[in-house]
Amino acid sequence: MSNPCDSDGSQKERSFSSDPEENPPADEAMELDDLQTLSKDYVLSGKCDLTVAQGAKINALIDKIRPEIPVLVVQMKKSSANRATLIIQKDYALKYFPCEDTTIILQLPRKNKNWKCKFHIRASSMCNAGRRTLYLGKFVHDTHVREGDICLFQPMTNVMHRRFIVTVHLLQKESIAHSPGGRTDIGSNHGSTSAKMGGVKEEPPADGTKM
């Protein structure tokens, strides 16, 4: 279902009146509009330097969960991991994320704990108008997300629901760092990956404290 936002997704008034980050870090600023659609089931956010093993795990996981809403695949940058913030590409957010400041609930698959995260859209009167920022808060700390880890954000509800829930699938870099195989073309300028699906199991995410 399309998101009923205005053309740039920005609004004159926000429930959250301030944004502590006037300018995004350099590694995020270069990729604000860099979104790659590789299939009907998922898109890559920014430039991803993935191994063949990582590409295979992504494909296997997507094939397993068969999402109703395309999944946003993010390879975590240093700034996102350290500052617990994530800029959501506008094209994706306009279709699948709320069009106003709200609280987004993040959850891990098959876990009881969830995290309430602030979603903020910069006002039209401000610099970088329409920029979407998801403040990950304790989610990064509790799940031990690090630079280079891959997070697959799977919206579980469309934008018309009052509670917007996203399941996050974690593929941690260390768990597949020594897997055989070279680099894949996912996220590069050479096309899509040739990694085969099948025979690859999803890494169990870090457990959160039960509520």
Domains and CATH numbers, the chain: 26-176 (2.40.330.10)
pLDDT for residue 164:
93
SS3 50: coil
pLDDT for residue 80:
87
Tell me which residues of the chain have a pLDDT lower than 50.
1, 10-20, 26-33, 178-211
pLDDT for residue 26:
47
**What tokens does 201 get?**
């199991």
pLDDT for residue 153:
97
Q: In which residue are the tokens 């946003």 written?
A: 72
pLDDT for residue 60:
94
pLDDT for residue 3:
54
Residue 152: how many other CB atoms lie within 10 Å: 22
Contact between 58 and 187 under an 8 Å Cβ cutoff? The reply is no
Distance CA 201, CA 195 (A): 14
SS3 58: helix
By CB atoms closer than 10 A (0-12, 13-18, 19+), residue 136 is buried
